[in-house]
Structure formats: C-alpha cells, structure tokens
Structure 1
Amino acid sequence: MTLLDDHVVLITGAGSGLGLGLARHFNEQGAKLAVFEISEPKVAGLREEFGDDVLVLQGDVTQVADLEAARQAVLERYGRVDALVGAQGIFDGMVPLMEVPVDQVEKVFDEVMHVDVLGYILSARIFFEDFAKTNGAIVFTSSTAAYAADGGGLFYTAAKGAVRSVINQLAFEFRRKVRVSGVAPSGIAGSQLQGPAALGLQDQKQSDIPADAFENNFLKLTLVNSLPTPEEYAPLYAYLASRTNTTTIGQTIIADQGLFNRNVITPTEG
C-alpha cells in the first residue's frame, strides 16, 4: 500500500518544474490524479507521459470558468476530489524595483499576484465544498523568499509572502473541514518558472540562469551537497495532502536545505 492510495488529487501548474515532479511522485504513490496546466505544449507533454492513467486538463488558474470546468471533469471521472496541490507560479526575474519603469509597476504586480496568489484563492473557493465532503486537504506552494530577502525580486517575494498568509487564514476558515498547509521550497533544479510578460520576460525561465553558477552559489549557503530536484520536494507535499497528515495544519514547511543556517562567522569548508 502506498501513501496516496484511494486519494483523488488535483495538481495545478503541473506541466513542468516543481508541478511535474509532484505529478510524477503522486502518480507513483497511487493517487488518482488530475493535472491542470495552461500551456498547450506542456499539456501535450503531460498526455504523452501519463497517457490515460491521469486526467490532463488545460486551463488558466486565474479564470473561474476554467477552474469550474476542471472541477466538473474531475468529478465526472473520479466522483470526488480529496486534495488540491497548487504548484503554479511565475517569477519576476529578480528585477529590482528601481529598474521597473513606473508605468509598468502596476502591470507587473497584477500579473504576478494573479497567478501566484489569486489562482490559489480561486481554486480553494471553487473546490472547497468537495474537500469538505471528504475532510480533504489543500497544499499550496510558498517559497523561502517569503521569509528572507534575495529569493526573488520584490513582486515574487510579496506574492509568496501573501501565499504564506493565505495558508494561515484558510486553515482557520476551513478548520475541521479541510486541512490547509503549505511548502516553502528554496532552490529547485531545472525550475521552469517564467517571468512576467509586463517586463518582456515571458520567454525567460529560472533555468536559463547558468546551472553551474546558480548551483555553486546556492551550495555556498546551504548545508547539503546538491540542488534538490522537484521530485525531492514531492514527499513533503504527498504527506501533507494525504489522510496521514493530522498534525501539520495551517503551517508552511520551510524546505530550505539549511539555507537559513548559513555561516556568518565560521569559514565555509568543502
């Protein structure tokens, strides 16, 4: 028996990076899985990889109609839904505020906040009644950027801080009906988060940063020997989404590889 046997799970933002790693792990753990993705090419890739074993849905997490259509499709196929895992997001390119043209600030804010925050809020609102019927779970993705500077630019940092607060508040509002929690990853190998179109960065991905340079800088600050893959984060999400989790509610697990225990006085070794 695996952790997610007899769990119906929807993963949003499942087409690449963290979301795809979660989908692969959840599938291996026995979940009856539905995945939701906006990009048509990524949707095609999901269908090619998972075939008929997984319900693959195309849509936009910021659009109520798309989320309602996804809900209907999941219920038609599986009869219920037990857990939602939110993994969608866009990055802000780490562009400092003073390098963002004044007339673009509002556009960048709206774009990042809509995907990284509103998409989570809408999905929670639309699926709440289904989760309440099964005492289900919601697991959202924050970031270590919500806790410390330089994990992103101002807009991404603000968005991930907002997600952390959304987790706290929804756990309170949904108490005794839906278990709400989150994960705050730090570096992710091969991250595919794209930048905002408002800054002309829609074709730029986090993984475009030279991998060796990024990993070397990351490892200087952490207590591990490698940059984690999406699949290495997945067991945390799987536990929080499962019925096994009866203790970690309203909390965001900081998965930082020891980043916040960085050396200040002691010289770096190795």
Structure 2
Amino acid sequence: MSGWLEGYAALVTGGGSGIGRAVAERFLAEGAAVTVFGRDGDRLADVVRSAADPSRVHAVTGDVRDCHRLHTAVAETVERFGKLDTLVANAGVWDYHRQLTRLSAEELDTAFDEVFSINVKGYLLAAEAAWPELVKTRGSIVMTLSNASFYTNGGGPLYTASKHACLGLMRELAYELAPKVRVNGVACGGMNTDLRGPEALGMRDRSIGASFAKKRPDAPPPPIPLHDSSTDPRDFTAPYVLLAAREQSGPITGHAIQADGGIGVRGFARAAGGDHL
C-alpha cells in the first residue's frame, strides 16, 4: 500500500459491509484511523476484530437518518483520534430495478421516502455533522455515487433519481464548503456486496451477493466494455484513497471518478425500456 493516508482519521457510514467495509479496510491499510458507522453492531464489531491494529478502528452503531447518532459518531471520532480528516458518505439501499409500472401508488409513496431518506438525506445529514471538523483539518468528503448517478437503468426510478440527487448534492457541497473542504464522489458500477433493498418493498433481506452466488458459470457477461472486470468491492477502493489524500488530490473538488466498467461508452442495451408495455 502507498501509505497515502498515514495519520488521517476517517468516518465511513455503512462501514459494516460491502464497499463501505472495503473502503474502511483500505484506509486502515493506507495508515488511517477509521470510525465505522452502521446499523448492524455485530458487523461493525467484526470490522474491529478483523483489523491488524484494532486500536485504530472505532465502531458506532446508528442509522444515517438519525442526525443525533451521526453527531455522536463525529464527536467520538474526534475524541478517539483527535480530529476528522475524511467523511465517506456511503450507506445506501438499492431498488432492484423495480420499474414504475411494477409499483403501486402506495408502494411508490412509502418506498420513495425510504430510499431518499437513506441515500440522499443520509449523505446530507452526515455532511452536516462532519463539516465543522473537516474545516479544521481542511479535509474532504467522498461520496459513494453510482453509474446510476449518470445513466439510466442502473436501478429503477427510485434508485436512479436518488443517485442523480447525490451527484447534485456532491457538486453543491463542493461549492458551499470550498475552499476549506473538498467534496468528491466515486461512481461505482455493479459489485458483489450485501447491498439490500427498501424495507417498504419487502426487500430488507434481499442481497445482491445472493444474486451473484446464483449466477451460472456459463452466464453471458454483463453488457459493459470491461465485462471481465472484478466485482470484488476491494478493487473499487483506490479512487477513495486518491480523493481522500489531500497531498494527491488537493486541487480536485466537485468531481466524480467513474469506476463502472465503462458503462458510459457502451450505449443502451435496448432501444426502449417500455417495449413490453
């Protein structure tokens, strides 16, 4: 590892599994101290136990929709590690491509509130809790975005709209917090994680990882240019390190690194999404 984050202190929301855990572990390997924040205390405890140096990992349980728990996480990070250099806003849910035509009015009403409160408001509340400490360190925020922040069909309308909103939020905060705090994002493509769906749609226990496990060995590759690229979340973590390290990306803010296998140069897989209607 490069050691680019030696002496840094970071807070990662959704840090108990998936890309959040992978980023937390990569930050530790790069020399940082890390607070992992999430709803599942057992998973957070496992991150601490698995660390080579558990003294550099702190776990705080909470929901990103709870502003008080996020303030607690920031305060405990500063108390434990002396400062906060980087916030990784990451916790989220996916809608499993549930199209508008497959949603009832009631489902749409409740699922919209859940998806946006986690995927968008959760990022904004985390930024609100962290920005005063980040100003002190001239730190940064790195948001987990998605190919759905730029293109269609990375999810259904709920997820796609929420991730487009996160892109706008990232750009707005990059302006509002400059010049003291840099705000960037990593727009990830599909990966093999335990990302769950909205509870409002009965998808709380549904996992992308389970879908990967069921995939046949002879299944056709995904329709992206780098179709043989890794789906291991650990292989998506380098852009987070780059954007967190002020010595490596000091002039960069309001930018999203697209780590999505080249979806943007693929074009649409189908001419129209509603040909079945």
Q: Which amino acid aligns with 1:207?
A: G
- Aligned pair count? 264
What is the identity, as a one-letter code, of the residue corresponding to 1:41?
Answer: D
Matches of 1:112 and 1:49 in 2, distance apart?
31
Distance 1:134 1:216, change over 3 A: farther
- Asked whether 1:88 is paired with 2:91, we answer yes
Counterpart Cα distance in 2 of 1:260 and 1:216: 23
Moved more, 206-215 or 39-48: 206-215
Where does 1:49-68 land on structure 2 (aligned, <5 Å)? 49-50=50-51, 51-68=54-71
Correspondence for 1:73? 76
Instruction: Give the Cα–Cα distance (whole angstroms) in 2 for the partners of residues 95 and 127 of structure 1.
Output: 33
The separation in 2 between residues aligned to 1:171 and 1:218, in whole angstroms, is 36
| 1:246 aligned onto 2:247 | no
Report the CA distance between 1:216 and its aligned residue.
4.9
Q: Alpha carbons of 1:218 and 1:59: their partners in 2 closer, same or farther (altered >3 Å)?
A: farther
Q: 1:99 to 1:135 in 2, by over 3 A?
A: same
Question: Are the counterparts in 1 of residues 221 and 227 from structure 2 also a CA contact under 8 Å?
Answer: no
Contact 1:187 1:227 in 2 (8 A): no
Secondary structure at the residue paired with 2:37?
strand
On the 8 A contact 1:218/1:227 being kept in 2, the answer is no
List aligned pairs for 1:10-159, cutoff 5 A: 10-50=11-51, 51-159=54-162
User: AA paired with 1:251?
Assistant: H
Aligned to 1:234: 237
Match of 2:260 among 256, 259, 264: 256
What is the TM-score when the length of structure 1 is the normalising length? Answer: 0.92
Contact 2:197 2:205 survives alignment (8 Å): yes
TM-score norm. by structure 2 comes to 0.90
- How far the C-alpha of 1:46 sits from its partner, in A, is 1.9
CA contact (8 A) 1:194 1:202 kept: yes
Q: Secondary structure at the match of 1:76?
A: helix
Partner of 2:204: 202
- Structure 2 residue runs of 5 or longer lacking an equivalent are 269-277
Aligned counterparts of 2:73 and 2:218: Cα–Cα separation in 1:
37
Tell whether the 8 Å contact from 2:90 to 2:123 is kept in structure 1 after alignment. Answer: no
Partner of 2:230, secondary structure, is: coil
Most deviating of 117-126 and 49-58: 49-58
Amino acid at match of 1:77: R
The answer to whether the Cα contact below 8 Å between 1:219 and 1:226 also exists between their aligned partners in 2 is no
SS across alignment from 1:142: strand
Question: Can you list the C-alpha shifts for 1:160-200, whole angstroms capped at 9, x where unaligned?
Answer: 10000000000000010100000100111x22110111011
1:148-187 correspondence runs (5 A):
148-187=151-190
Q: Is the contact between residue 11 and residue 74 of structure 2 (CA under 8 Å) also seen in structure 1?
A: no
Alpha-carbon offset, residue 93 of structure 1: 1.9
Q: Within 1, Cα distance between the matches of 2:25 and 2:221? A: 25
Cα RMSD between the aligned structures? 2.0
Flag the 1:199–1:158 CA change in 2: closer, same or farther, 3 A: same
CA distance in structure 1 between the partners assigned to 2:250 and 2:70 by the alignment: 27
Partners of 1:152 and 1:103 in 2: how far apart?
A: 19
